[in-house]
A and B are shown apart, each in its own frame.
With several copies, the nearest count.
Chain A
Amino acid sequence: MSDLLEMKDISKRFGGVEALKAVSFSLKKGEVHALVGENGAGKSTLMKILIGMHRPDSGVIFLNGEKKVFNCMKDALNYGISMIFQEFNSVAHMTVADNIFLGREPYTKFHSVDYKKMHQDTKNILKRIGVDIDSKVDVSTLTVAKIQLIEIAKALSYDADIIIMDEPTSALSNNEIDNLYRIVKELAADGKTVVFISHKIDEIYRFCDRITVLRDGNLIGSDLVDNIDIDQLIMMMVNRQITEMYPKEEAEIKEKVLEVKNLSRKGNFEDISFYLRKGEILGVAGLMGAGRTELAESIFGMRRIDRGEIFVKGKKVSIKHPKDAIRHGIMMVPEDRTKTGLILKLSVKENILLTNLKKCMIAFYISKKKEKKSVETFSKILEIKMKDESQVVSALSGGNQQKVVVSRTLFSDPDIIIMDEPTRGIDVKTKADIHALMSKLANQGKAIIMISSEMPEVIGISDRIIVLHEGRLSGELTRAEADQQSVLRYAMGRNQ
């Protein structure tokens, strides 16, 4: 079988960063091709070049053996290539149908937009991928997961020959992932080609036929899935052995530090009560839209609660603003790092130190020396890959950006840490690092709430798990009781 597409010796640099160094990449018709690598390896950049969003500095692209130049995304779409972006690209105040058909709205014979057809087609597309979303609602009212599904629907609706999926499952829970698996297999059977970028190793083996590995902008290798085993793959990606994915240290669990009683927020969650103890990692599981993010944000003061009480170390507290939460020793790693986690225009240094600048003050001004020292500590602990501490965070890869958010949280030295999808979009090595870090923190006496959609992660490192279903607490499991089946059963609302 000859190559459908070939990218040859593609190089790309962003200012000082060499994102890609003469990388070659090829696709065969009908295959599901995994593109893997550490954070910042250049996966997204390579695909953005293919879709015409970036221009390569050098290198050529052949489609069906013909040399092609993609100047803009429209070109790529015309050649039958579509992409699900890692960062979502939906227009918040337009309806689902508007979003899916953006750029190719059907016209009636009077040259006006045919809304009837648009909504009908949208329904069909959504049905095909098994999603139940009203085509007439504004995207702004949907959860991250649903928006992710709409992105998938949009990319599929182009009926493209090559579909690039840049971490499509990072916001999805198991049901949706299963659904996506089915769709991907159907596509492949139809002779379509899928590029699948993911940090979840199990998914790669489940979904894909072939793997290409990038590291630091270099092509490391490309082979059929069957020829690479997991250890080999990890070795290729990170250039070292990972012994333990969920390195759980047994920490001593002490007194309650946080307790919430009957917390409610209309439309998001109802009557949630739970507690958290010193030295404990509390996993929060649930399907998409279960209300976990809202719950976390409400405890952290980013949203108002309608009813309920919060106790920190036995004392009732009123949290109306994140600063109140921080004062009471609560910190949060937000779910969406570009929206609420980071100030992309500012430097790594400024982002890490933002919450606790006080620590870097001498008398009445901020000391450069102290800043530098503080940042160095954290960039070492978390191995943030950057030029120097004054590099703007927007120039970092997704995973490294996430590390910056985590650094900030640690820097303010909280007693209670809420982590909403802390490893979303993070490569295996860093993921293991972050798990180890969480474990260590718990051991040092911190209390951690971890929200995650990755079942193995929740089960792997939580001491206790609470499960939410449609905004209500549907179950609680100890580490010993927890397995995939039981958590899933609660998540789907079947308590018995």
Chain B
Amino acid sequence: MNFKEIMQKGKGILQKYAILFGFLVIVIVLGFVTETFFTLNNLFLILKQVSCIGITTVAMCMLIIMGCIDLSVGSVMAVSGVFGALMVSEANPQWMAFASSFGIDPVWIALLAGILMGTAFGVFNGLIIAKGKIPPFIVTLGSMTIARGLAYILSQGMPVAKLLDSFTGIGAGKLTLSESAGLHISNTVFFYIGVVLLVSFILKKRRFGRYIYAIGGNESAALAAGINVDAVKLKAYVLAGSLVGLAGTLSVSRLKSAPPAFGNAYELDAIAGCIIGGVSFNGGIGKVWSSVVGAFILVIIQQGMDMLDVQTFYQQIVKGLIIILAVLGDRKRII
């Protein structure tokens, strides 16, 4: 291999992993400029911060790979959280009574209710997209508004508060590694890891996952191969909906309150996370892992800007530029 070839190869690798390199640069700069960035404490903090939106990003990732999208995730997180919280809110005795009537700990009912609400929206989106043959963008634009309205109706426009401690314990709970050093891993992190592993497995190792890639890559080819495209789409939206419902319920449990305005514009963060991580917007290409990287980059950038005292107005500009540069770096030869 001569020098030129080595250069070529280097270029290729750099291009392929441009995002990761950019990510490293950001991390190193932050490490140098701030004192607290490179501490285990901060690592766990970042993990915790990533986890809820991270779960939603994983769901989005799966849909983007399938050549679809879901604009409703932010609102569905809200309505799921609100619905779940109602089951365990001392301020809403009729719902709490309903939840208690099942004879099991209302906390489980709440978790289930949240996930089911997400699933219901998944079914709704999936059915209309698969059977109605309407572009996902437009269906989920509609359901985004519907879910938000429902969140307001259910909560009567006010945050659902006074949640049972056992429920808020889900989000607040943590695994303590070292009491003295204050090292804890939040519960939500384990949920996140679980979701990442599960969806990775499905995408790589299950037929369903392969069909998601096939549909995203070439829908008519998938159809010609005898794949029940409609069923796969429905299934994917249902799975994504459940994950979003879970993310919403976990967030609410962390927040100890369910504001109906919650999750506004989270769909954009989730999409940005996927794209920054390298999931192709055209479908058919991408890994769950990419969405994890993207979600981390977004959280770390936010943290970095807060740490470096970047003014709020300028933060928006930086964030916008980073979204564009990330993809630009990925697509074009930057060296």
Residues in A lying within 8 Å of B, measured CB to CB: 53, 72-74, 77, 83, 85, 89-94, 98-99, 102-105, 107, 111-113, 154, 300, 302, 321-323, 325-326, 332, 334, 339-346, 350, 354-355, 357-358, 361, 364-366, 408, 412
Q: Which residues of A contact B224 (CB under 8 A)?
A: 53, 73, 83, 85, 89, 300, 302, 322, 332, 334, 340-341
Report how far A92 CA is from B215 CA in the complex, Å: 11
Which 5 pairs between the two chains have the least Cβ-Cβ distance? Answer: A112-B205, A343-B217, A91-B217, A103-B225, A365-B205
Report how far A196 CA is from B221 CA in the complex, Å: 21
Contact of B37 with A by CB under 8 A: no
Give the distance to chain B from A128, nearest Cβ to Cβ, in Å.
20
Q: Which residues of B contact A53 (CB under 8 A)?
A: 223-224
**Closest chain B residue, CB of each to CB of A51:** B224
Contact B210 A98 (CB under 8 A): yes
Give the distance to chain A from B20, nearest Cβ to Cβ, in Å.
20
Contact of B192 with A by CB under 8 A: no
Contact B227 A323 (CB under 8 A): yes
Contact A366 B218 (CB under 8 A): no
Report how far A73 CA is from B205 CA in the complex, Å: 24
25 contacts between A and B (CB under 8 A): A74-B226, A85-B224, A90-B221, A93-B217, A94-B214, A102-B210, A102-B225, A103-B211, A103-B222, A302-B224, A339-B218, A339-B221, A340-B220, A343-B213, A343-B214, A343-B218, A345-B217, A345-B285, A346-B284, A354-B210, A355-B226, A355-B227, A361-B207, A366-B210, A408-B225
Give the distance to chain A from B170, nearest Cβ to Cβ, in Å.
29
Q: Which residues of B contact A364 (CB under 8 A)?
A: 206
Give the distance to chain A from B276, nearest Cβ to Cβ, in Å.
20
The 0/1 profile, CB within 8 Å of A marked 1, for residues 55-71 of chain B is 00000000000000000
Give the distance to chain B from A439, nearest Cβ to Cβ, in Å.
25
Which residues of chain B (209-265) have a CB below 8 Å from chain A?
210-211, 213-214, 216-218, 220-228
Report how far A77 CA is from B220 CA in the complex, Å: 16
Contact A111 B284 (CB under 8 A): no
Report how far A53 CA is from B220 CA in the complex, Å: 10
Report how far A321 CA is from B205 CA in the complex, Å: 25
Q: A102-B214, A350-B210, A357-B210 are in contact. Are A89 and B221 (CB under 8 A)?
A: yes
Contact of B137 with A by CB under 8 A: no
Q: Which residues of B contact A357 (CB under 8 A)?
A: 207, 210
B contacts with A, residue count (CB < 8 A): 23
Give the distance to chain B from A15, nearest Cβ to Cβ, in Å.
9
Contact of A107 among B207, B214, B217 (CB under 8 A): B207
**Closest chain A residue, CB of each to CB of B220:** A340
Give the distance to chain A from B255, nearest Cβ to Cβ, in Å.
37
Contact A103 B284 (CB under 8 A): no
Contact A113 B205 (CB under 8 A): yes
Since A113-B210, A345-B217 are in contact, a sample of 17 more A-B pairs with Cβ atoms closer than 8 Å, ordered by chain A residue number, is A73-B226, A85-B224, A91-B213, A91-B214, A93-B285, A102-B211, A102-B222, A105-B207, A339-B218, A339-B220, A339-B221, A340-B221, A343-B221, A345-B284, A346-B217, A365-B201, A366-B207
The 0/1 profile, CB within 8 Å of A marked 1, for residues 254-284 of chain B is 0000000000000000000000000000001
Contact A105 B210 (CB under 8 A): yes
Give the distance to chain B from A369, nearest Cβ to Cβ, in Å.
13
Give the distance to chain A from B207, nearest Cβ to Cβ, in Å.
5
Q: A92-B217, A344-B217 are in contact. Are A322 and B226 (CB under 8 A)?
A: yes
Contact B285 A365 (CB under 8 A): no
Contact B213 A350 (CB under 8 A): yes
Q: Which residues of B contact A103 (CB under 8 A)?
A: 211, 222, 225-227
**Closest chain B residue, CB of each to CB of A327:** B226
Report how far A195 CA is from B166 CA in the complex, Å: 68
Q: Which residues of A contact B205 (CB under 8 A)?
A: 112-113, 365-366
Q: Which residues of B contact A344 (CB under 8 A)?
A: 217-218
Contact A342 B221 (CB under 8 A): yes
Q: Which residues of B contact A89 (CB under 8 A)?
A: 218, 220-221, 224-225
Contact A92 B218 (CB under 8 A): yes
Report how far A365 CA is from B210 CA in the complex, Å: 11
**Closest chain A residue, CB of each to CB of B12:** A15
Q: A105-B207, A113-B210, A357-B210 are in contact. Are A323 and B226 (CB under 8 A)?
A: yes
The 0/1 profile, CB within 8 Å of A marked 1, for residues 170-206 of chain B is 0000000000000000000000000000000100111
Contact A342 B210 (CB under 8 A): no
Q: Which residues of A contact B228 (CB under 8 A)?
A: 72, 74, 321, 323
Contact of B201 among A90, A99, A112, A340 (CB under 8 A): A112
Contact B225 A354 (CB under 8 A): yes
Q: Counting chain A CB atoms within 10 Å of each CB, which of B211, B218, B226, B285 scores highest?
A: B226
Give the distance to chain B from A339, nearest Cβ to Cβ, in Å.
6
**Closest chain A residue, CB of each to CB of B285:** A93
Report how far A53 CA is from B224 CA in the complex, Å: 8
Report how far A346 CA is from B204 CA in the complex, Å: 13
Give the distance to chain B from A296, nearest Cβ to Cβ, in Å.
11
Contact A91 B285 (CB under 8 A): no
**Closest chain B residue, CB of each to CB of A105:** B207
Q: Which residues of A contact B201 (CB under 8 A)?
A: 112, 365
Give the distance to chain A from B287, nearest Cβ to Cβ, in Å.
12
**Closest chain B residue, CB of each to CB of A394:** B217
Report how far A476 CA is from B219 CA in the complex, Å: 36
Report how far A365 CA is from B205 CA in the complex, Å: 5
Q: A73-B226, A113-B205, A321-B228 are in contact. Are A346 and B213 (CB under 8 A)?
A: yes
Report how far A343 CA is from B207 CA in the complex, Å: 16
Contact B223 A94 (CB under 8 A): no
Q: Which residues of B contact A98 (CB under 8 A)?
A: 210, 213-214
**Closest chain A residue, CB of each to CB of B228:** A323
Q: A343-B214, A343-B221, A361-B207 are in contact. Are A91 and B284 (CB under 8 A)?
A: yes
**Closest chain A residue, CB of each to CB of B284:** A345
Q: Which residues of B contact A321 (CB under 8 A)?
A: 223, 228
Report how far A348 CA is from B218 CA in the complex, Å: 14
Report how far A220 CA is from B306 CA in the complex, Å: 66
Contact B207 A358 (CB under 8 A): yes
Report how far A41 CA is from B225 CA in the complex, Å: 26
Give the distance to chain A from B153, nearest Cβ to Cβ, in Å.
39
Q: A345-B285, A350-B213 are in contact. Are A91 and B207 (CB under 8 A)?
A: no
Report how far A332 CA is from B224 CA in the complex, Å: 8
Report how far A354 CA is from B220 CA in the complex, Å: 13
Q: A92-B218, A345-B284 are in contact. Are A322 and B225 (CB under 8 A)?
A: yes
Contact B284 A92 (CB under 8 A): yes
Report how far A113 CA is from B209 CA in the complex, Å: 10
Q: Which residues of A contact B284 (CB under 8 A)?
A: 91-94, 343, 345-346
Contact A91 B226 (CB under 8 A): no
Q: Which residues of A contact B204 (CB under 8 A)?
A: 113, 366
